[in-house]
């Protein structure tokens, strides 16, 4: 699926905000929504472990480092910003340099 998108040669779009009927789900720590506060998610994980009587697994150093760099709500793919083009043939990422394009892809409210 991702390969098909990258082969199309289109810039990565900005992620859209969820509709109002599912906004509560995606912003809830209980459902581990991507719009939820990371501290609330961690607190909910601990509460669930206590409730069901299991130990939370040890988090390795690599995963800790990844969690320090959270994916922004505008990103669709982790580590890839909106507006970038992924060239699979040459294994490179093309980033926009035109100030108008940079501003377009960095705005949170896109129509």
Q: Residues 42, 5: one domain?
A: no
C-alpha distance from residue 45 to each of 38, 72, 109 (Å):
11, 21, 31
Q: So what's the pLDDT on residue 53?
A: 93
**How many domains does the structure of the chain reveal?**
2
Q: So what's the pLDDT on residue 68?
A: 62
Q: Residues 22, 67: one domain?
A: yes
Helix (H, G, I), strand (E, B) or coil at 70: coil
Q: Residues 8, 30: one domain?
A: no
**Boundaries of domain holding 32:** 18-72
Question: With the C-alpha atoms ordered 111, 29, 33, 39, is the resulting torsion angle positive or negative?
Answer: positive
pLDDT in tens, 43-101: 998 999 999 999 888 776 556 555 566 777 888 888 899 999 999 889 999 999 999 98
C-alpha distance from residue 22 to each of 15, 16, 40, 45, 96 (Å):
15, 13, 19, 21, 32
Q: So what's the pLDDT on residue 1?
A: 57
Q: Residues 11, 57: one domain?
A: no
C-alpha distance from residue 111 to each of 83, 94, 98 (Å):
15, 24, 20
pLDDT in tens, 2-50: 688 888 889 999 888 889 999 999 999 999 888 888 889 889 989 999 9
Q: Residues 94, 108: one domain?
A: yes
Q: Residues 83, 110: one domain?
A: yes
Give the whole-angstrom CA distance, residue 31 versus residue 24: 9
Residue with the bigger pLDDT between 103 and 72: it is 103
């Amino acid at each position: 699926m991702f390969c098909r998108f990258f082969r199309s040669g289109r810039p990565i779009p900005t992620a859209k905000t969820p509709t109002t009927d599912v906004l509560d789900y995606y912003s809830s720590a209980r459902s581990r929504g991507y719009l939820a506060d990371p501290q609330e998610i961690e607190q909910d994980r601990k509460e669930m472990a206590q409730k069901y009587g299991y130990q939370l697994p040890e988090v390795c150093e690599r995963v800790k480092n990844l969690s320090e760099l959270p994916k922004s709500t505008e990103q669709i793919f982790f580590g890839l910003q909106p507006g970038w083009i992924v060239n699979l043939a040459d294994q490179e990422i093309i980033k926009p340099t035109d100030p108008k394009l940079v501003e377009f892809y960095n705005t949170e409210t896109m129509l």
